[in-house]
Structure 1
Amino acid sequence: MNPRAVDAAGVAHEPAGAAARIVSLVPSLTETLFALGLERQIVGRTGFCVHPRDKVQAVRKVGGTKAVKLDAIRALCPTHLIVNIDENERDTVEQLRAFVPHIVVTHPQTPRDNLALYALLGAIFGREQQAQRLADALDARLREAAAHHFAAQNVLYLIWREPWMSVARDTYIAAMLRLVNWHTLPDVQGGTQGAARYPTLDFDAAPWLAQVDRVLLSSEPYRFTSAHREALAREPRMAGKHIELIDGEMASWYGVRAIDGIAYLLRHAAA
């Protein structure tokens, strides 16, 4: 068994062959499957799988990342299901396990974990050369990031409002931000999964707020706008802080997007 074909759940996968029928429940991995040249084998995706825009429209929607339509997936007769520990519900995946022969579990937690992710998908679906090209491109980006020397900043990365929500330091997003020496507050660890990874904030009970240098308003899952930025800038508690919008896909999508995501963060930090 190819050691590269062992997924995040410790399951070893045999090569799939050209007859594989793939359903992806992870937007960033749907994009990655296309980047690996698997468009003819992708038969299902979520409504949030929107990249590459010129190709996903031809793939059947099967609900959302959590509100999955089990019957829609069953009708597609998939051989392989691509899921993620953070993005998909365990109970839903277990129900799908009853009729999908192969479930590939992913859980990248740092940008470098994408190297193993590329190798995993490449080994299962016979795209080793394409996976290696992605790995080479990502490795170049990681080396580029390591060669830069940015001043350390504490950042508040907001993903939701009403209530305000941020990210724990052991999330993929926080690891991406550390590439440019940005360190997320609050300084909490969220564990392997669950709400603690994305803590709810009460600004009136956040003594660490004074330590924040930069506030980042993500474009997803909540779509922050310039109006939200301007409103937050008027808050007395935010006086003197740099508040800006950030492309959430570039900071949070793993897989092939990480290559452009790192370049985006390097430009953003240098601006």
Structure 2
Amino acid sequence: MKFSKEDIQKLTLEYDSGIIPPPYSHVFHMELDWSESILKVKLDLHYTDRDELSEQEILDEGFTLSDDYHYEGELNSIWIEPIQELLTETKWSPRQLDEGGIILYLNEDSVPKTPLSQEVWQLMAQDLIQAIYESTKKEAPLHINYRLVTEENTLDCTITVHFSNRTVILDQGEKSQALNWDYSIQLMKLIFTPDYHYEIAKEAPGTKPGAYIDCGDGLWHELGKGVVNIDPAFDAVGKIQQRFEDMLLG
């Protein structure tokens, strides 16, 4: 089953996190409508099974006691084309989901469709939710700060990811440039792949030779010491260093 960009003008996404335990478990219902060349959005997000936990257990995991969220409004129309492109590329499963995942309703169709590319659609939904959070000032854009210290130089840069309008800006001193969106999102996934040892993080970046990263929370980690690979077969730390060195030194 293939669709052209003109075939679909409305889309509903429903997601259930499945067996993930609280306070992380959640469901959401998102309606998208670009039939009038603007992107109208409705979102209802609800965290589930939190009555099994104490208030302190929820807070200890970095959540609040009121994380459910409702939004009805518009998003930047720059999101329309990526949604359409993903729809035209999607292959569909003939089976319903057993536990957890995302299903789609196309246009006014009441029959759910299950995309085979679950991870891709879940990432798209997460990006759209983040765009809503930024547009409503619930959350600020993501800032990644990086420092490379060599024997000769100290080089600093900041990557700012604006989900609200799908732009990514690299600031290095007085220089500023836009980065490719897809490349940047893959870099963000890579950055959050390793294990971060917060017990040895610092409030200021290092000054000795090495590579240091702040993932937006004001705490600095040294790559290779405070940031280590989870999977020995995949050198995420090395890849992060290489990507930033290419940007800083290229």
- TM-score of the two chains, using structure 1 as the length reference: 0.24
Structure 1 or 2: more strand by fraction:
2
Larger % of helix: which?
1
User: Whose relative contact order is higher, 1 or 2, with alpha carbons under 8 Å and at least 6 apart?
Assistant: 1
Q: Could you say which structure has the larger radius of gyration?
A: 2
